[in-house]
Amino acid sequence: MAITVRRATAADVDIVCEFNRLLALESEDKTLDVAVLRAGCVAALADPAKGLYFLAEEDGVVLGQSALTYEWSDWRNGWFWWFQSVYVRQDARRRGVFRALCRHIEEAARQDPQVVGVRLYVERDNHVAQATYASIGLEKTTYLVMERYPLQPVS
């Protein structure tokens, strides 16, 4: 059967949390605080302004996910949509699951004239993911992501 993509709902919080937990563990060897993760997933699923989650399914079984967040570009007078929280179950990899998610999100982006592009970030050493992203037309940029996390509260 074909892979279908749908927007996740609050009822999908368990699978979204589990996929995010596995993503952090597999890609960054990080163990997430499950209570914080769940609260974040609940908040995102309840508020589309924070982003959207999409699930790829086959025969009613969820195989993968991608979140979508937004960045305004004043340089381009438009929105970039960011792929976030990309995860595909190990037993479903190399079967077009991310390709289906990407296609679904890019088709929605093309329908909105204010969206100028899509982006994602990937771990520097995750060469398998980088090859997958390149195979569907995503290109490396000259940007390097830097951060300060966690922010310490002002005393």
Threshold 0.75, pTM exceeds? yes
Strand partners, 80: 71, 117
- What digits encode the pLDDT tens for the residues 61-105? 999 999 999 999 999 999 999 999 999 999 999 999 999 999 999
- What digits encode the pLDDT tens for the residues 5-38? 999 999 999 999 999 999 999 988 999 999 999 9
Backbone angles phi, psi at 65, to 5 degrees: -150, 160
Are the C-beta atoms of 120 and 105 separated by less than 8 Å? no
Residue 10, C-beta contacts closer than 8 angstroms, at least 6 positions apart: 42, 45, 46
Residue 123 has pLDDT above 90, yes or no: no
Distance in angstroms (rounded) separating the CA atoms of residues 118 and 82: 6
The single-letter code of the amino acid at 82 is: W
**What is the mean pLDDT of the segment spanning 130-150?**
91
Domains and CATH numbers, the chain: 4-135 (3.40.630.30)
